[in-house]
Amino acid sequence: MSGLELIAAVLGVTAVWLTVKQNTWCWPIGLIAVLIYGWLFYEVKLYSGMLLQVAYAGLQLYGWWQWKRPGRAEEARRVSRLAPLPMVAGLAAGLVLSAGLGASMAGFTDAALPWLDATLTGFSLVAQLWMAQKRVQCWPLWVVVDIAYVGQYLHQQLYFTAGFFVVLTLLALRGWLEWRRDPALAQP
Task: Show pLDDT as tens, one digit a residue, over the chain (188 residues).
Answer: 578 888 998 999 999 999 999 899 999 999 999 999 999 989 888 888 899 899 999 999 998 888 887 565 555 578 999 999 999 999 999 999 999 999 999 999 998 899 999 999 999 999 999 998 899 999 999 999 999 999 999 998 888 889 889 999 999 999 999 999 988 887 65
Alpha helices in 21-46 (DSSP H): 26-43
pLDDT at position 9, please?
87
CB atoms within 10 A of CB 92: 11
pLDDT at position 70, please?
59
pLDDT at position 89, please?
98
pLDDT at position 71, please?
60
pLDDT at position 48, please?
83
The torsion of the CA quartet 58, 61, 65, 70, rounded to 10 degrees, works out to -140
pLDDT at position 44, please?
85
CA separation, residue 81 to residues 71, 176, 182 (Å): 25, 12, 11
pLDDT at position 156, please?
87
CA separation, residue 125 to residues 43, 75, 96, 107, 185 (Å): 21, 24, 12, 22, 23
Residue 110 identity: D
* Separation of alpha carbons 121 and 24, rounded Å: 24
Q: Is the dihedral of CA 132, 105, 154, 6 positive or negative?
A: negative
pLDDT at position 187, please?
65
pLDDT at position 82, please?
94
Strand partners of residue 181: none
